[in-house]
Amino acid sequence: MLTRTVIAAGLVAAGIAATPSSAYAASAASAAETPERVCGAGYHRVQDGHRAMKTRDGAVLGHVYLMYNKSAGKNCVAAIKTAYRGTRTVTGASIEVRGGGRSEDVQRYRFYAETGHIDGSWKCVKYAGWTRDPDNRIEAWGGRNSWGNCAG
């Protein structure tokens, strides 16, 4: 007990807060927000299907993932925030399938946005994810504006 008190006092003196319960909660929340869990069972990351969501200045506020379920022939896009986590900010994800449909999800989310599942077997896709700061002044964007991932 004396050792913990001395360590805690040293951390306080150094200006560092010791909050193991919130650190655990943050890591538990992050583990639940993998693109595989966001899109669901059977979805896997695809080649060239990951981009950082960056501001104009290059700050990374999250990541966007293009996911595919081969047995269902469907795509899903997950835009997962790394900044302002737990705070409701405008966050969106979109996917467009060449010769097919388009799906978009934009709301004030705490952790991520997800497009839902859209047919995309053997069709090229474009995808994007974005998020903003709480004051709605800074936007971070990531994705691919060109067609890709065309083979099944």
* Least confident piece of the model among 28-37, 57-66, 109-118, 126-135: 28-37
Q: pLDDT for 58-107, tens place per residue? A: 999 999 999 999 999 999 999 999 999 999 999 999 999 999 899 999 99
- Mean pLDDT of the chain, nearest integer: 83
Strand locations in the chain (E): 44-54, 60-69, 74-81, 89-97, 102-109, 112-114, 118-119, 125-132, 139-148
d(CA 62, CA 39): 16
**Highest mean pLDDT: which range of 11-15, 19-23, 31-35, 95-99:** 95-99
**Residue 55 contacts residue 137 (beta carbons within 8 Å):** no
Taking the CB of residue 112, how many other CB atoms lie within 10 A of it?
A: 25
From residue 121, how far is each of 51, 53, 114 by CA, in Å? Answer: 21, 26, 19
Q: Is 30 helix (H, G, I), strand (E, B) or coil?
A: helix
Instruction: Tell me the two tokens of residue 58.
Output: 């290059």
